[in-house]
Structure 1
Amino acid sequence: MVAVVLEGIAFGESPRWHDGRLWFADWLAHEIGAVTPAGQREVVFRADFPTMPMCFDFLDGQPLIVSSSDGLLLRLTPSGLVTHADLGGVGFNEIVVARDGGCYVNGGGFDLMAGEEFRPGAILHVSRDGEVRQVADDIAFGNGMALTPDGSTLIVAESYANRLTVFSVLPGGGLADRTVWADLGTGVPDGIALDAAGAVWVSDVPGRSCSRVRRGGEVLETLSLGRGCFACALSEDTLYLVTQEWRGLDGVGTAAERTGRILAHPVPAGRA
């Protein structure tokens, strides 16, 4: 059963379960918000920079925010924003923080929103103290990412290659042993979430769905959602889904349209 938790989101993305609430970015509203399972919403942060896209994760309880258009990784502290790292470019799409305080940031290698032609992207590693280095290349529009609980493996959604790709994580954050985790056929993976049983929930915008996939590509469950599913996140017992109408790049509207929703679906295996 899929239930509506929250409506009226302009363009939702980057959901994160944190401290009993689902946090999410609303790109067109230039906000990061949080919502309880009962639907109580709070605006946590309002950005004064362009937010298409804006992704975030948590470092020591503080949001690490990617300002893609500026190529900066920012940390939201009690006293305000500080620059954590200069990413050296633009067009970044997703971030995931590792147990040691380092993080991975990926990007498409081109500015999709500006209509640029496709170029392969990369994955960057940013250390806890802000040192940036490239650890993988030839990524076909990197999207959602997930680290296994022990930090030994990074799974990456390659939207333009219709697959999930997996890397071994080396000491110091480097990546090796690249291989295909799952070939998704015609599926177009966006945000992903790894569950405690080792399966991955895969959001799909054109497919208007989210599917639970086992390594090797077996589909265990598919939720048909009626709107594009851009991202997902897991709590201990619930899958949260960020959906909205998608009419292509030319159809990206304004904050006034607000077709976005957050949905909830009970699951047998919660977050990893």
Structure 2
Amino acid sequence: MDGLGFGESPRWHGGRLWFANWGTGEVLAVDSDGKSELMASVPAETIPFSIDWLPDGRLLVVAGSKLLRQEPDGSLVPHADLSGIATVFNELVVDGRGNVYVNGADLDETGGFRPGVIALLTADGQPGHQLSAEAQQVAGEIAFGNGMAVTADGSTLIVAESFGCRLTAFDIAEDGSLANRRVWADLGEGQHPDGICLDAEGAVWYADVPNKQCVRVAEGGEVLQTVDLDRGAFACMLGGPDGTTLFILAAEWRGFENMLSDERTGHLLTTAAPAPHSGHP
């Protein structure tokens, strides 16, 4: 698929790849033949935004500092206000219990990003998985948080720190809080992980915009595979019928000031992966 703005937050769901198309305000779902369907609309100027689902099937959308919920009629309604924790929120992941993790940051006086945070909205454990209305900060000093993933057993959250050139892991406690912060993989200077996903062999795939590639790494940082591209890789996700298709969202990067331009250089690409998807999202 081509003609996209900046594809982000890809999720394999219901036999299709869903993703957020930044710059157009679209949440799209694409089938294996490349046929797309508009699933939700947010204001086009709301960048970043990301998606995931509660266990009961309700779509959640992070838009700016708001968490939105999609109603049965397709409309997006406010669910939670995250502005008391940070100004702008980026990526979203929902774990198997329905707990929602969102990372975000504040802008400094120069327009750059201060060290970021991870916020949590807990599920109440009841049918329907109602979320608490109040978010709480569960981690700080995140060096520009990007993609996040939760292991299949629900024990570990991994976050891509784009400005830190690393993947960082936390243990997830019974109440959803995070502890035992550690470097899961030091990627080395010049590596800038963006969107990530987990596979069944315990490796992480990460997308990298400036290096125009997707990389598969083991815990500890060993590089297992690299997929080189002709433009920046913003996010990746494993999916397909057997979970071994790597979907890559890529686009030409010309700086934040050009994110809302009419140029549509975004592509959705696929390649075969050695191990199937695991964990969340």
Q: What is the SS of the residue equivalent to 2:163?
A: helix
Q: What is the SS of the residue equivalent to 1:250?
A: helix
Kept after mapping to 2: 8 A contact 1:31/1:44:
yes
CA 1:123 to 1:259, structure 2 compared with 1: closer, same or farther past 3 Å? same
Residue 90 of structure 2 corresponds to residue 93 of structure 1: yes
What is the CA-CA distance between 1:85 and the residue it aligns to?
A: 1.4
Cα deviations by residue, 1:69-100 (Å, 9 ceiling, x for unpaired): xx110111213222221112421110000111
Which residue in the other structure is 2:42 paired with? Answer: 47
Which residue in the other structure is 2:27 paired with? Answer: 32
Kept after mapping to 1: 8 A contact 2:213/2:227:
yes
CA distance in 1, matches of 2:167, 2:122: 24
CA distance in 2, matches of 1:262, 1:270: 19
- Structure 2 matches for 1:47-86, cutoff 5 A? 47-48=42-43, 50-59=45-54, 60-68=56-64, 71-79=65-73, 80-86=75-81
Residue 217 of structure 2 corresponds to residue 213 of structure 1: yes
Which amino acid in 2 is paired with 1:95?
L
CA distance in 1, matches of 2:57, 2:245: 21
Residue 240 of structure 2 corresponds to residue 246 of structure 1: no
Which residue in the other structure is 2:3 paired with? Answer: 8
Cα deviations by residue, 1:28-63 (Å, 9 ceiling, x for unpaired): 111100101210111111224632111111112221
Which region of structure 1 is more displaced relative to structure 2, 234-243 or 101-110? Answer: 101-110
Which amino acid in 1 is paired with 2:25?
H
CA distance in 2, matches of 1:26, 1:117: 23
CA distance in 1, matches of 2:14, 2:176: 26
Q: What is the SS of the residue equivalent to 1:78?
A: coil
Kept after mapping to 1: 8 A contact 2:205/2:214:
yes
Which residue in the other structure is 1:117 paired with? Answer: 112
Q: How many residues align?
A: 262
Which region of structure 1 is more displaced relative to structure 2, 239-248 or 74-83? Answer: 74-83
Which amino acid in 1 is paired with 2:91?
E
Cα deviations by residue, 1:152-172 (Å, 9 ceiling, x for unpaired): 000000011100000000011
CA distance in 2, matches of 1:117, 1:209: 25
Residue 199 of structure 2 corresponds to residue 195 of structure 1: yes
- Structure 2 matches for 1:173-188, cutoff 5 A? 173-185=176-188, 186-188=190-192
- Structure 2 matches for 1:123-272, cutoff 5 A? 123-128=118-123, 129-130=131-132, 131-185=134-188, 186-235=190-239, 236-254=243-261, 256-272=262-278
Identity %: 52
Structure 1: state its 5+ residue gaps: 1-5
CA distance in 2, matches of 1:270, 1:107: 29
Which amino acid in 2 is paired with 1:83?
P
CA distance in 2, matches of 1:90, 1:56: 18
CA distance in 2, matches of 1:271, 1:154: 16
Kept after mapping to 2: 8 A contact 1:108/1:140:
no
Which residue in the other structure is 2:101 paired with? Answer: 104
CA distance in 2, matches of 1:162, 1:8: 30
Which amino acid in 1 is paired with 2:112?
E
Which amino acid in 2 is paired with 1:28?
G
Which amino acid in 1 is paired with 2:174?
P
Which amino acid in 2 is paired with 1:249?
F
CA 1:42 to 1:142, structure 2 compared with 1: closer, same or farther past 3 Å? same
Which region of structure 1 is more displaced relative to structure 2, 128-137 or 93-102? Answer: 128-137
Which region of structure 1 is more displaced relative to structure 2, 134-143 or 80-89? Answer: 80-89
What is the CA-CA distance between 1:16 and the residue it aligns to?
A: 0.6
Normalising by the residue count of structure 1, what TM-score does the alignment of the two structures yield?
A: 0.92
Which region of structure 1 is more displaced relative to structure 2, 87-96 or 158-167? Answer: 87-96
What is the CA-CA distance between 1:66 and the residue it aligns to?
A: 0.5
